[in-house]
């Protein structure tokens, strides 16, 4: 593998890690909005528990993507 190929691969990995960080951050924000949505709608909706459960799953998925993307980003930075 030549030096240019290694640099190109490193840049692709760095972009993929950055993309994972952005997607993870967006998922965390969406999940938090879903978790907090019953405060806006009130307790009368029977769907609140499903929004909170789905929001928790989305938040945990986003946190995992943030963790893995952050570690990949740190690894490819140097």
pLDDT value, residue 6: 67
Burial class of residue 31 in the structure, from the number of CB atoms within 10 Å of its CB (0-12 exposed, 13-18 middle, 19+ buried): buried
pLDDT value, residue 9: 84
Give the predicted TM-score (pTM) of the model: 0.86
22-63 pLDDT, tens digit each: 999 999 999 999 999 999 888 788 889 999 999 999 999 999
**Which whole-number Å values give the CA distances from 29 to 71, 74, 76, in the listed order?**
20, 22, 26
Contact 28, 63 (CB under 8 A): yes
pLDDT value, residue 4: 67
pLDDT value, residue 56: 98
DSSP state of 67: H
Contacts made by residues 52-57, CB under 8 angstroms, sequence distance 24+: 55/30, 55/31, 56/31, 57/31
pLDDT value, residue 7: 74
């Amino acid at each position: 593998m030549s030096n240019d190929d290694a640099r190109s691969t490193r840049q692709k990995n760095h972009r993929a890690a950055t993309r994972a960080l952005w997607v993870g951050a967006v998922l965390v924000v969406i999940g938090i909005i879903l978790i907090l949505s019953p405060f806006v709608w009130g307790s009368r909706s029977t769907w609140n528990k499903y929004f909170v459960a789905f929001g928790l799953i989305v938040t945990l998925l986003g946190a995992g993507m943030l963790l893995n993307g952050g570690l990949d980003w740190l690894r490819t930075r140097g």
